[in-house]
Amino acid sequence: MKSIDEMLPLLETLIKGLSRHFGEKVEFVVHDYSREYAQTIVAIENGHVTGRSIGKGGTNVGLKIMQGEPDNDGRFCYTTQTVDGRQLRSSTIYLKDDDGRLLGTLCINTDITDMVNMRNGLSQMFADLMGVPEEHETDETVVYHDVEDMLYSMIKESLEKIGTPVALMTREQKIEGIRYLQRRGVFSIKNAANIVARYYDVSKYTIYNYLNEGEAKNEE
Residue ranges with strand state E in the chain? 26-32, 41-45, 74-82, 87-96, 102-111, 141-143
pLDDT value of position 170:
93
pLDDT value of position 151:
92
- pTM for the whole thing? 0.76
Band the pLDDT of 125: cuts 50, 70, 90.
low
CB count in 10 Å sphere of residue 173: 17
Q: Are 107 and 47 in contact (CB under 8 A)?
A: no
Q: Residue 106: pLDDT above 90?
A: yes
Please report how many Cα atoms fall inside a 13 Å half-sphere around the Cα of residue 104, on the Cβ side: 27
Please report, in angstroms and rounded to a whole number, the separation of the first and last CA atoms in the chain.
Answer: 38
pLDDT value of position 68:
74
Band the pLDDT of 195: cuts 50, 70, 90.
very high
pLDDT value of position 137:
46
Per-residue pLDDT tens digits for 22-64: 999 999 999 999 999 999 999 999 999 999 999 999 998 888 8
Q: Are 201 and 166 in contact (CB under 8 A)?
A: yes
5-14, 178-187, 207-216: the lowest-pLDDT one: 207-216
Per-residue pLDDT tens digits for 127-184: 666 665 555 444 457 888 889 889 999 999 999 999 998 989 999 999 999 999 999 9
Mean of the pLDDT values across residues 3-25? 97
User: Which residue type does 10 have?
Assistant: L
Q: Of 178, 207, 189, which is closest to residue 148 (Cα–Cα)?
A: 189
pLDDT value of position 132:
53
Pairing of strands 26-32, 41-45: antiparallel
